[in-house]
Structure 1
Amino acid sequence: MKVYREIWGFTNRSVTDILIHDKDGRNNFSFKKGAPKMTSKSVMIYFPEAKNASNLRIIQDPTSQIRGFFFTKSQFSKIERMEHANNSGIYFLFSELDEPSVYIGQSVNGIHRIKTHIREKEFWKYGILFVTDNNSFDRLSIDFLEYHFIQEFSKTEYNLENRDLRSTKPIMSIFQEATLNSFANHLEFLLEALGISLQTAIEITATIIHYFDAPAGINARLFLRDGKFILATNSVISKPAESSREWSDYGKFYSRYTNHFQRLVASGSAELINNQEAKLLKDVEFTSPSTPAALCSGHSKNGWKFWIGLKELREKEES
């Protein structure tokens, strides 16, 4: 059975409201975040297999040639056979949310480029490929989009798996840049509609119910909002302990969290206190409690146990 749905997304850079309904009008689901000041957008989502809707879907703005393919690793082979999936485009490979990471790449033959990552990159669990129906993404387009999204994701909680962090912007005319920026903005909205947020600092518009402090000796506080874990302004983050260089993960934890610490400082979300510590200047959003726990402690931590009272709250809600 094939299912076709439309989504109306009302979005600015800080809030998103989404309404989904079946084309026959039977089922309606509403997801709301934030305040009602927003710009309206409309996209369509197509589910090739209704019983597998969470693992395989196609998203497209009805006014645009851009379409996106969302797929888990196990469903990759099904995307290969779909129309337009071999066009030039940009793709994102994501890990699980407990330790969120992303690889961003470009492809002149769409999904076929990702085949190599099935063997070479073990970290990813699901991917998103964006192409155009008329195959209008040329080399400059995908080169710029790769550059743009590497810069944008470097400001978020996601750890970048790219070796080349693309610090040099592609050369282009002002006319080309205006067009490509509009493509990038549109892709950011489609990513948001698929549940991938590029937001780091957020504006608090809802009542905060629960605060969770770090253990004694660590000056940090976490709270919950809209299902996300927010590390509060003025929390102190720390570079990883030097001893983590010698861990059995071959220094991956040390490298990942050193980069994360440096990105928060470079983006203006935190300011250095000394060579080892920095203080957050903004609230920063995470999808799991373990990443902020590691950032604040400098060690690998189970966030549910690290933040005082968080584990108890979860157990109470599950009982």
Structure 2
Amino acid sequence: MLGEAKCLPDLPDRGVHYLLDEDHGVLSRVYAGQTTRGLVRLDAHKTKKEFWNKAIMFLDNDVNIDRDVLDSLEAKAIDYVREHGSYETDNGNTPAPRMNPYKEQRVEDLHGSILFRMRVLGYDLDRKETTPVAVNTVFHTKKNGVRATGRYNRDTGRFTVLSGSEVDLGYAVIKNQGAVAARRQLFAAQTGKVILADDVELSSPSSAAVFVLGGSQNGWIEWVNEQGQTLDYVYRSKEHMNE
């Protein structure tokens, strides 16, 4: 739908945007950034950041969002996702622009308005992982006949695939360098379905799912516990938190 959106008349050029990896209502990954070219900025992201399937943009003109405000708003948006939410993020370091003290309130007001609108759209960037879950809870996947188990570390965000798990090398990895590197290091020229001899720690649940299954996976819904609850439900669901 990006091509259609770019045909809308009189779209402003400046603002911040969020790239989202969403699967059946489950949000697993968020990237925040800025644009001075409106929707055209998304063309570059299509080729360089293939994880996302939805974009939300907040745009205005350069009168209301000058360069100082834009840089500071982007920094605040990135920092908020990294520090206050419970989603994986594709952002690296948070930028640290020089903030004009006379414009601080403007940035705060804009960011507060953005957070409110994101919540209205169903994306609560404040969401925390506060569900009491046993440290040694084991999750598994049986997708495509592949049987694998693992554990999630809430403190680090990393996921460990346990020894004895099956890894399907018959399906190539799509755009996940961590999974590619782990497969190359462990299995070299092997093919087909192999058994993992030792535990392997990956950077995220999705990297772990891709490592095991190949292709492109959303680990937050692929890994489930013995009750059939997804990793997302156990660690993120507000309904589960209130039980």
TM bin (shorter chain) = 0.5 to 0.7
Q: What are the equivalent positions in structure 2 for 1:150-161 lying under 5 Å apart?
A: 150-154=78-82, 155-161=84-90
TM-score (structure 1 length as normaliser): 0.45
More strand by share: 1
Which residue matches 1:200?
127
Structure 2 CA distance, aligned partners of 1:188 and 1:255?
27
The answer as to whether partners of 2:34 and 2:74 remain within 8 angstroms in 1 is: yes
The alpha carbon displacement at 1:250 in A equals 3.7
The 1:86–1:308 alpha-carbon spacing in structure 2 relative to 1, beyond 3 Å, is same
Map 1:1-319 to 2 at 5 A.
Answer: 75-97=1-23, 98=26, 100-132=28-60, 136-154=64-82, 155-162=84-91, 164-166=92-94, 168-201=95-128, 218=136, 237=154, 239-241=158-160, 249-252=176-179, 254-256=202-204, 291=220, 302-303=223-224, 306-308=225-227, 310=229
Which structure ranks higher in relative contact order (CA pairs < 8 Å, sequence separation ≥ 6)? 2
Contact 2:16-2:74 at 8 Å conserved across structures: yes
Native 8 Å contact 1:94 1:125 kept in 2: yes
The one-letter code matched in structure 1 to 2:52 is W
**Alpha-carbon shift at residue 76 of structure 1 (Å):** 0.7
Counterpart-to-counterpart distance in 2, 1:116 and 1:145: 21
TM-score (norm 2): 0.57
| Identical columns (%) | 21
Structure 2 vs 1, CA of residues 135 and 80 (structure 1 numbering), >3 Å: closer, same or farther? Answer: farther
8 A Cα contact 1:93 1:128, kept in partner: yes
Q: CA deviation at 1:196?
A: 1.1
**Root mean square deviation, CA, Å:** 4.0
Higher helix share: 2
Long gaps (5+) in structure 1: 1-74, 205-210, 221-234, 258-288, 294-300, 312-319
Contact 1:79 1:85 in 2 (8 A): no
The answer as to whether partners of 1:80 and 1:86 remain within 8 angstroms in 2 is no
The structure-2 alpha-carbon separation of the partners of 1:309 and 1:161, relative to structure 1 and needing over 3 Å to count, comes to: closer
